[in-house]
Structure formats: structure tokens, C-alpha cells
């Protein structure tokens, strides 16, 4: 079972947080289970970028992203080489340090 350290985010977790993961749990599900309300407009099906995260430590321990995830990430605000979608990222055997970007691109809410 890996741990995820969420760096402080002014709205979602001002003090940061450290959470334990459950087997095969995504970063997004671990966050939500621990009261960190990362947006997830597509309901976790890799169809948006609202759960964009940046893996500051432990990135190399993750399984490679899929082509679909990479295509979605190309649309994310503040994309970095260590960017992933929280709904697709599962810690394997190493702890992670994760940053939640300040902004997200939500095509659904921005088109209304």
C-alpha cells in the first residue's frame, strides 16, 4: 500500500495531506475518499482534464500513460512532463508526492 502526499492547494487542501491508498486505487479515488474534492467532470472515464495532477515525486514508478490519457493531457492547463490524470494514475509500489494545479479546464462548465 502506497502513500500519496498532496502538496498544499489553496482551496482543496490548504495544509496539504498524506493519505494511504487501497489496492488498485487511483490517485483521484484516494483523494476523494479523504475529502480532497478534485474536480472530475467526466466521472473518471478519461474524457476530460479536470483531474489533472502533477507527480512531483515517484513519477518513474507509475505505469506508462495510455495514448488516450496523453491525448487528453494535451488539453490540460499548465501541462508539465510529470502531468497525469488522477483518474488514470495508480500508485504501484512507491509513494507519490502530487501537486494539484491551481486551474483546470472544464469544457462542460466553460461552454455554458
Tens-place pLDDT, residues 51-80: 999 999 999 999 999 999 999 999 999 999
Distance from C-alpha of 77 to C-alpha of 95, rounded to nearest angstrom:
25
Residue 59 lies in a domain: yes
Beta bridge partners of 85: 52
Residue 14 lies in a domain: yes
Residue 112 lies in a domain: no
Beta strand extents in the chain (DSSP E only): 3-6, 17-20, 52-57, 83-85, 96-99
Domain enclosing residue 52, as ranges? 3-105
Domain of 20, CATH number, reads 3.10.20.30
Q: Which of 39, 54, 43, 37 is nearest to 89 (CA)?
A: 54
Residue 59 phi, psi dihedral angles, 5° rounding: -55, -40
State the total domains in the chain.
Answer: 1
Residue 111 lies in a domain: no
Instruction: Using the predicted structure, report yes or no on whether residue 106 has a pLDDT greater than 90.
Output: no
pTM of whole model > 0.85? Answer: yes
Residue 22 lies in a domain: yes
Amino acid at each position: 500500500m502506497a502513500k500519496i502526499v498532496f502538496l498544499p492547494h489553496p482551496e482543496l487542501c490548504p495544509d496539504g495531506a498524506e493519505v494511504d491508498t487501497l489496492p488498485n486505487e487511483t490517485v483521484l479515488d484516494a483523494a476523494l475518499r479523504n475529502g480532497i474534492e478534485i474536480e472530475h467532470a467526466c466521472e473518471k472515464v478519461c474524457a476530460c482534464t479536470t483531474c489533472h495532477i502533477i507527480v512531483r515525486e515517484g513519477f518513474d514508478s507509475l505505469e506508462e500513460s495510455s495514448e488516450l490519457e496523453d491525448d487528453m493531457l494535451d488539453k490540460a492547463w499548465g501541462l508539465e512532463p510529470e502531468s497525469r490524470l488522477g483518474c488514470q494514475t495508480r500508485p504501484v509500489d512507491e509513494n507519490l508526492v502530487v501537486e494539484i494545479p491551481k486551474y483546470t479546464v472544464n469544457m462542460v462548465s466553460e461552454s455554458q
